[in-house]
Amino acid sequence: MHDADPARYAHSAFQARCGKSGLHLPKISLGLWHNFGSVDDYATARSIALRAFDLGVTHFDLANNYGPLPGSAEETFGRILRDGLGKYRDELVISTKAGYTMWPGPHGDFGSRKYLLASLDQSLKRMGLPYVDIFYSHRRDPNTPMEETMGALAHAVRSGKALYAAISNYNPADTARACAILRDLGTPCVVHQPKYSMFERTPEAGLLDTVEKEGIGCAVFSPLAQGMLTDRYLKGIPADARAGKLHGFLRPEQVDAIRMEKVRQLAKVAEERGQPLASMALAWVLRDKRVTTAIIGASKVAQLEQCVAAAHSAPFASEELKRIDAILAG
């Protein structure tokens, strides 16, 4: 069993209100997309999750398809809950999603009511939970009426199987529409989950304005560009890194010379700020007050610790931000 650190809430600024809701998320959240599958080492996965909670990371982000094998990250998390973390259930914010391919046929993917509600039942079973805190539509389904997808999220909330409804990977116009429908249904959207990092700045072109206008939170994913915005690839691709693994979503060709030159220059800025590049990259996404939390991944406890430390970074001087913009544009 595990007794959590009594000082886990010592830094009150680490918890942030999610939009205008009553839900609070830690500035750094832990995502279980990689490193928690059936192919990964269970003891390491458990240590990362328990250390995260000790450091105040109360939010654990999952999806039906995380693994590999798909579904196995939820099974691993269920085991971690049974193995110690579960006694803190009322402090935990557990999210899951449905929207990508999960089983064969037309109702194992995208955004139908049939898929979303069956998937949520499966997720709950894998984690051994009666409810999750946040249930996401993982992506917009262009061929299903948005009323149907949002209606499924609302039903999940009303049935008690999820506490809050949420969306991920929706563009600004679809976000505004989804929020309006969910508001009308009496189950407001609590958070949007977009990809955002120094290498992926699309949310700056409208989405961040939209989440602010709608009064919802913003949980950004892959803030380290899957590990590229760290020192991980500065000397090539290690075999134990995501880009070195056959099942890793980051492919070796994405770790290209142009990106790595930018990473080297960014690492110099970080060094001058007195912090590792990973911490600076996270501080950079969190500099925008519309960003509620950065959802990171970690394959080692030390990585997680470095990421959490980022939440206590010094603010950026405007000169530093300009230098970073110039490096990214170069």
Ligand X SMILES: NC(=O)c1ccc[n+]([C@@H]2O[C@H](COP(=O)([O-])OP(=O)(O)OC[C@H]3O[C@@H](n4cnc5c(N)ncnc54)[C@H](OP(=O)(O)O)[C@@H]3O)[C@@H](O)[C@H]2O)c1
Residues that bind ligand X (CB under 6 A): 31-35, 61, 138, 168-169, 193, 221-227, 230-232, 241-242, 278, 295-299, 303, 306-307
Q: At closest approach, how far in Å is the CB of 114 from ligand X?
A: 21
Scan for tokens 């009322």, then name that residue: 90
| Secondary structure of residue 20 in the 3-state scheme | coil
Q: At closest approach, how far in Å is the CB of 318 from ligand X?
A: 26
Q: At closest approach, how far in Å is the CB of 230 from ligand X?
A: 3
Looking at the Cβ atoms of 155 and 232, the one nearer to ligand X is 232
Query: SS3 helix, strand, coil % of the chain, rounded to 5?
Result: 45, 15, 40
Looking at the Cβ atoms of 184 and 240, the one nearer to ligand X is 240
How many helices, marked H, and strands, marked E, lie in the chain?
10, 10
Question: Distance between CA atoms of 43 and 204, rounded to whole angstroms?
Answer: 39
Looking at the Cβ atoms of 33 and 135, the one nearer to ligand X is 33
Give the pairing of strands 162-168 and 217-221.
unpaired
Which residue, 230, 247, 220, 249, is CA-closest to 304?
230
In this structure, what are the phi and psi dihedrals at residue 242, rounded to the nearest 5 degrees? -55, -45
Q: At closest approach, how far in Å is the CB of 160 from ligand X?
A: 24
Q: At closest approach, how far in Å is the CB of 212 from ligand X?
A: 20
Looking at the Cβ atoms of 158 and 314, the one nearer to ligand X is 314
Q: At closest approach, how far in Å is the CB of 66 from ligand X?
A: 7
Question: Distance between CA atoms of 130 and 68, rounded to whole angstroms?
Answer: 24
Please give the structure tokens belonging to residue 310. Answer: 């980022």
Looking at the Cβ atoms of 175 and 193, the one nearer to ligand X is 193
Do the Cβ atoms of 15 and 9 come closer than 8 Å?
yes
Looking at the Cβ atoms of 111 and 159, the one nearer to ligand X is 111
Looking at the Cβ atoms of 79 and 138, the one nearer to ligand X is 138
Question: Distance between CA atoms of 182 and 125, rounded to whole angstroms?
Answer: 26
Q: At closest approach, how far in Å is the CB of 286 from ligand X?
A: 13
The H-or-E segment that residue 25 falls in is strand 24-26
Do the Cβ atoms of 199 and 258 come closer than 8 Å?
no
